[in-house]
Amino acid sequence: MPRLTFIASQGTSRTVDARIGDSAMQTALAHGIDGITAECGGAMACATCHVHVADKWADRVGPAEDTEADMLEFAASTVTPTSRLSCQITVTEELDGLVLHLPDTQI
């Protein structure tokens, strides 16, 4: 089972089990990770699931596609080249060990 690590803006981290096929956002909500609000439930309509993919994982996760990038413009915190909407990151075996940094705010 893949494991994902979420690192809060203050530096605290949690590593949790993730189900293949779930999104990183669903994984965060299932484990009560603070910092992922996900107001739209994964419909790519809120940008409150914004995360920064750790640099060493950026190539494997890939960049946001155009529609996702458009929605990221509504993110409450700074968007960087490794910004993604976590509802658009699908957990796979290849993402075992993925590290995602949470922004300081989602609202």
Instruction: Tell me the C-alpha distance between 73 and 29, whole Å.
Output: 23
Instruction: Tell me the C-alpha distance between 7 and 42, whole Å.
Output: 21
- Asked whether position 38 contacts ligand FES by CB under 6 A, the answer is yes
Number of residues that bind ligand FES (CB under 6 A): 14
CB of 53 to ligand FES, least distance (A): 14
Indicate the residue among 56 and 70 with the shorter CB distance to ligand FES. Answer: 70
Indicate the residue among 20 and 45 with the shorter CB distance to ligand FES. Answer: 45
Instruction: Tell me the C-alpha distance between 81 and 26, whole Å.
Output: 23
Q: Which stretch binds ligand FES (CB under 6 A): 2-10, 12-20, 42-50, 57-65?
A: 42-50
- The residue number with the shortest CB distance to ligand FES is 87
- Asked whether position 45 contacts ligand FES by CB under 6 A, the answer is yes
**Which residues, 6 or more positions from 34, have their beta carbon under 8 angstroms from its beta carbon?**
8, 102
Which DSSP category does 96 fall into?
T
- Asked whether position 75 contacts ligand FES by CB under 6 A, the answer is no
Locate 60 and state its tokens.
């494997």
Measured CA angle at 47 (ends 71, 79), to 5 deg: 75
Catalog residues that contact ligand FES under the rule CB under 6 A: 25, 38-40, 42, 44-49, 71, 85, 87
